[in-house]
Amino acid sequence: MQISQIPIINYHKISPSFDIGITTRHPRQFENDLEILKSYKFNTITFRDITNDDSEISNPIIITFDDAYETIKTYALPIMQSFGYKGVIYPVTNFIGRYNDWDVQIGKFKFKHLDWKELKDIQEIGFEIGSHTQSHELLTQMSYERQFRELSQSKSALEDALGKEVCSVSYPFGRFNQETIQCAEKAGYKYGLASLYFKHIEENNRVYTLKRFNIYRFDTGNQFKMKIGIKNSQYIYYRDWLMQKGGLGTALLQSLRKRMNPNGIIKINP
Ligand SMILES: [Zn+2]
């Protein structure tokens, strides 16, 4: 099967606690999602399975987790393991074991990222670790040199600490340009994960512009089925495309914050 035909879905936090953002999925919803995958006989694979194994895996799907929050270990992992599923986790290397200070903080809400040991333990049980860059800043606003540093140094930091090849990179906010593709290839990645919609697609660069559906808090079971390709996904594609345009607001606030107050955090009243 062609890699571009394999459905890839993405989660952020899996948690029962309240969060202002839309990317947190409740553990019960997450379990329902996996029940749906099971009922349609999906097999979870990671990028390494594609690289190392030519044999055909029936009904493959890739489950990814951007930002590598601690909630993966607390809530997602036990559920994944009860289904015998595995996935790919994308830490931001400058924030491993720290709080999400890279993000725009709304009120007092802060979330912790998995630390190095936890990432290694999760890798040991069959999950794969990819890169989500060093800083989580928009790659498209960086020079070629800085983009290359973000991609190559995050890759080598993960490989040095975890002892395994890092074969995929998830671009922050799903955004990239032609230089990002060149940098990803030059840094030695085999796959790059983008958002749903982008202008710079070229046939031979497909592996560096793979599309993913984010799974949001308010996605229903039916909408989840659209995202894994069981139901016609035209509607959900355009809805999520609009949502991701909104998500860019975070990226813009982030760069504004940096310009105004390089060491601080902008507090926004909810
Ligand atoms: Zn992210």
Q: pTM above the 0.85 mark?
A: yes
CA of 92 to the centre of ligand 1 (A): 8
Quickly tell me which residue has 């909810």 as its tokens: 270
At 242, the pLDDT band (50, 70, 90 cuts) reads: confident
pLDDT at 3 over 90: no
Structure tokens at 81: 């393991």
pLDDT > 70 fraction of the chain, expressed in percent and rounded? 83
CA of 173 to the centre of ligand 1 (A): 6
**Per-residue pLDDT tens digits for 66-125:** 999 999 999 999 999 999 999 999 999 999 999 887 776 555 678 899 999 999 999 999
CATH numbers and ranges of domains, the chain: 3-260 (3.20.20.370)
**261 bridge partner residues:** none
pLDDT at 110: 81
Structure tokens at 111: 């979330």
Higher pLDDT, 48 or 262: 48
pLDDT at 31: 98
At 256, the pLDDT band (50, 70, 90 cuts) reads: low
CA of 67 to the centre of ligand 1 (A): 5
Across residues 190-210, what is the average pLDDT?
75
CA of 229 to the centre of ligand 1 (A): 23
Structure tokens at 226: 């659209």
CA of 43 to the centre of ligand 1 (A): 25
pLDDT at 56: 76
pLDDT at 187 over 50: yes
d(CA 225, CA 204): 29
Q: Which of 1-10, 228-237, 240-249 has the lowest mean pLDDT?
A: 240-249
Residues with CB under 5 A from ligand 1 (ion): 66-67
pLDDT > 90 fraction of the chain, expressed in percent and rounded? 64
Give the DSSP per-residue string, the chain.
Answer: --GGGS-EEEE--B-SS--SSS--B-HHHHHHHHHHHHHTT-EE--HHHHHH--SPPSSEEEEEEES-BTHIIIIIHHHHHHHT---EEE--GGGTTSB-TTSPPBTT---BBP-HHHHHHHHHTT-EE-B--SS---GGGS-HHHHHHHHHHHHHHHHHHH-S---EEE-GGG---HHHHHHHHHHT-SEEE--S--S---GGGGGGSB--EEPPTT--HHHHHHHTTSS--HHHHHHHHHHHHHHHHHHHHHHHHHHH-TTS---B--
pLDDT at 198 over 80: no
CA of 23 to the centre of ligand 1 (A): 10
d(CA 80, CA 266): 35
At 268, the pLDDT band (50, 70, 90 cuts) reads: very low
Across residues 242-267, what is the average pLDDT?
60
pLDDT at 234: 81
CA of 11 to the centre of ligand 1 (A): 10
**Per-residue pLDDT tens digits for 46-57:** 999 886 555 678
What is the end-to-end Cα distance of the chain in Å, rounded? Answer: 45
pLDDT at 200: 47
Is-contact 250 240, C-beta < 8 A? Answer: no
